[in-house]
Structure 1
Amino acid sequence: MVESLEMQSDVTAGSRLLTVENLAIRFKNATANTVDGISFGVDRGETLCIVGESGCGKSISALALMGLLPMPPAEIASGRISFDQKDLLSLPAKTRADLRGDRMAMIFQEPMTSLNPSFRIGDQIAEGVLRHRAVSPADARRRALEMLERVKIPAASERLDDYSHQLSGGMRQRVMIAMALANDPDLLIADEPTTALDVTIQAQILDLMRTLQQETGTALIMITHDLGVVAEIADQVAVMYAGKIVEQGPVQAIFDDPQHPYTIGLMSSLPSLGERQSRLTTIAGMVPTIDRMPSGCRFAPRCPFTTVTCEAQAPALSAVSDRHLAACHLAPLENHLAEAL
């Protein structure tokens, strides 16, 4: 479940797999944190979607979880990342490397640049198995074939010796999923895994990931800017803007009763299936650059409801209903906007 740290007392002991507390990430010579004090958690078998515009800090947060941020120029300015009750940030580099690809795995955004064009896909999957399991090369190859079959690649035994350029975009993404799941990880992070795919292949990939998750009980963090994907796959949602989480809660609460103006703006900009009556709604303005972050609410320069308080003071992420939190001085919006009218 995604919730503030003060609201976690109802979580069953042992069900929480990952907890992120007040994580802040800063890059060398930056005047503000790129990721600024985010907190969330995910339970075993649960899907958390982190959603927001490009540049909001989603992918950087994921890389920090995996221990893949180059340091320097990046640094963890504050915070704690707890995985299965282990403090990841205090672990030796070798221990984190042992976790990565084994108990924690990641599907990257563009499989064509993530797969090595010089090696056969079967060898690339088997390499991860050999790194983390005491098995023979023959056993690792059998596991690679099993995973290709599991992700429903046609004629998997023949594709085992293909190179990545011989596969379609959808098949390359299936290979990435097979590689990530080869060691049955407890946590899978998927960074925009369907962005470059057409809608038919996207639906197939989402259905595949959901099925595999149900079979394995893997916790999934899906990073996306596509609210259609969020509605399809999420249990919990965290909405990020300019390095901060501005709203979070169960997916139904976020879609039925959005409580942050940015979330409302994202949903209003979605195209409808019916006949278009007018131009799509847009969010005015631009995301602030790292050297021009507002001193108050980071969304204030683009928000239609901005007050003097918003410009002067950053809002805290606080409860608006059961397990539903928003970082807005006016939340719950229906109360304040009704008073204004």
Structure 2
Amino acid sequence: MTGPLLEVRGLTVALKGVGQPIVDDVGFALAPGETLCLVGESGCGKSLTSLALMGLLQSPPLKVIAGTARFAGEDLLAMDTARLREIRGGRMAMIFQEPMTSLNPGLRIGEQIAESVRRHKGVGQAEARARALEMLRRVRIPAPEKRLDEFPHQLSGGMRQRAMIAMALANDPELLIADEPTTALDVTIQAQILKLMKSLQQDTGAAMVLITHDLGVVAEMADKVAVMYGGRIVEAGTAEQLFTDPQHPYTIGLMSSMPSLGDRRARLVTVPGTVPPPGAMPPGCRFATRCPFATAACDAAPALRDLGAGHGVACHFAPLVAGDLPQLRSTGT
């Protein structure tokens, strides 16, 4: 494939009874083998974006009202249910944040993986079970022959997440969407899961959309990053661009809030305030109520402008230089 595997343009999601879109004009492109991290606080629209792409929005009250999402040339947002079911779980798959609520508690782990294989590969029960066992081995679950016939509640949190990854990758998808797949895990297991996902992605050449609020995960996994706030992308570029030269005030706040292994006397920076709820966003720049730069110009929504080399920023004052940065609020020691 010469073009993007996934190209999203103008994705807009509405919530019934709310006058403003809760995901507004989101766009990005992803090539085979690339990893895009969607970053932002809870409530910024990351998970809704992924659910819209997978056709899993609860409708009503949620509805895609504009945009396209071309996957290998076909628009996911315009597909009928039958065609989407053919692709979902086969050519594209999703890892959910909490496997205990995503796995079926009444089915054995092997049955759940095998069911997906039978559905999309058209193989028999024995071959599907053999594939399920192979996948449990690939994700390094201990004693996979035993785990194959266990129920989700009999597995630890780390093993359940590995089982979810095995299920998502069982049909060798071209696109993998992972919604904060390590949030509920301790740091040791999180590191193992991320290493596993990276290794399996390299083996299969799959593209991945990884949703996270953890900038450490972004540094480890991302080729590209899109920072979301209030349902909009406010900054996008390569991981190197956003870590070395963040340009949106929100991105700068996020980067400044990362703890450091350096001088422990330094104070951690916070971004004051919280994300406004749906329907209460400012009419222009949605970050204006929390931004140290905000002026009357921010009553008009800034467009996502390319500052060069594909580094896009939605801020009237970009590009910013170090001398322009305000004194951000700090907290604690």
* Pairwise TM-score range, normalised by the shorter structure: over 0.9
* Per-residue deviation, 1:15: 3.5
Cα pair 1:330 1:336 within 8 Å, conserved: no
Q: Quote the residue 2:82 is aligned against.
A: 94
Work out whether 1:162 is the aligned partner of 2:150: yes
Cα offsets for 1:37-70 (capped at 9, x unmatched): 1110111010000000001000000000000112
Q: Quote the residue 1:329 is aligned against.
A: 316
TM-score, length of structure 2 as denominator length = 0.95
* Per-residue deviation, 1:275: 4.9
TM-score, length of structure 1 as denominator length = 0.93
What is the alpha-carbon distance in structure 1 between the residues aligned to residue 131 and residue 227 of structure 2? 37
Q: Quote the residue 2:193 is aligned against.
A: 205
* Per-residue deviation, 1:337: 2.3
Q: Considering only aligned residues, what root-mean-square deviation do their CA atoms show, in Å?
A: 1.3
Work out whether 1:247 is the aligned partner of 2:235: yes
Work out whether 1:219 is the aligned partner of 2:188: no
Cα pair 1:15 1:44 within 8 Å, conserved: no
Q: 1:192 aligns with which of 144, 158, 180?
A: 180
Q: Which moved more, 1:140-149 or 1:89-98?
A: 89-98
**Secondary structure at the residue paired with 2:269?**
coil
Q: 2:59 aligns with which of 57, 71, 85?
A: 71
**Secondary structure at the residue paired with 1:208?**
helix
What is the alpha-carbon distance in structure 2 between the residues aligned to residue 68 and residue 255 of structure 1? 32
Work out whether 1:18 is the aligned partner of 2:45: no
The within-5 A match list for 1:272-283 is 272-283=260-271
Q: Which amino acid aligns with 2:213?
A: H
What is the alpha-carbon distance in structure 1 between the residues aligned to residue 89 and residue 103 of structure 2? 14
What is the alpha-carbon distance in structure 2 between the residues aligned to residue 200 and residue 70 of structure 1? 34
**Secondary structure at the residue paired with 1:204?**
helix
Work out whether 1:116 is the aligned partner of 2:141: no
* Per-residue deviation, 1:30: 0.7
Q: Which amino acid aligns with 1:317?
A: L
Cα pair 1:268 1:281 within 8 Å, conserved: yes
* Per-residue deviation, 1:336: 8.5
* Per-residue deviation, 1:189: 0.2
Q: Quote the residue 1:314 is aligned against.
A: 301
**Secondary structure at the residue paired with 1:16?**
coil
What is the alpha-carbon distance in structure 2 between the residues aligned to residue 329 and residue 23 of structure 1? 22
* Per-residue deviation, 1:335: 8.2
Q: Quote the residue 1:260 is aligned against.
A: 248
* Per-residue deviation, 1:116: 1.0
Q: 1:289 aligns with which of 271, 277, 289?
A: 277
Q: 1:56 aligns with which of 41, 44, 58?
A: 44
What is the alpha-carbon distance in structure 1 between the residues aligned to residue 77 and residue 211 of structure 2? 21
**Secondary structure at the residue paired with 1:292?**
coil
* Per-residue deviation, 1:277: 1.1
What is the alpha-carbon distance in structure 2 between the residues aligned to residue 237 and residue 194 of structure 1? 18
Q: Quote the residue 1:10 is aligned against.
A: none
What is the alpha-carbon distance in structure 2 between the residues aligned to residue 69 and residue 92 of structure 1? 14
What is the alpha-carbon distance in structure 2 between the residues aligned to residue 292 and residue 58 of structure 1? 18
Cα offsets for 1:218-261 (capped at 9, x unmatched): 00000000000000000000000000000000000010000000
Q: Quote the residue 1:151 is aligned against.
A: 139
Cα offsets for 1:176-228 (capped at 9, x unmatched): 00000000000000000000111111110000000000000000000000000
Q: Which amino acid aligns with 2:324?
A: L
What is the alpha-carbon distance in structure 1 between the residues aligned to residue 144 and residue 122 of structure 2? 24
Q: Which amino acid aligns with 2:168?
A: A
* Per-residue deviation, 1:133: 1.2
Q: Which moved more, 1:255-264 or 1:299-308?
A: 299-308
Cα offsets for 1:129-170 (capped at 9, x unmatched): 011112110000000000000001111111111111111111
* Per-residue deviation, 1:273: 2.1
What is the alpha-carbon distance in structure 2 between the residues aligned to residue 273 and residue 32 of structure 1? 41
* Per-residue deviation, 1:321: 2.1
Q: 1:236 aligns with which of 213, 224, 239?
A: 224
Work out whether 1:298 is the aligned partner of 2:293: no
What is the alpha-carbon distance in structure 1 between the residues aligned to residue 70 and residue 237 of structure 2? 20
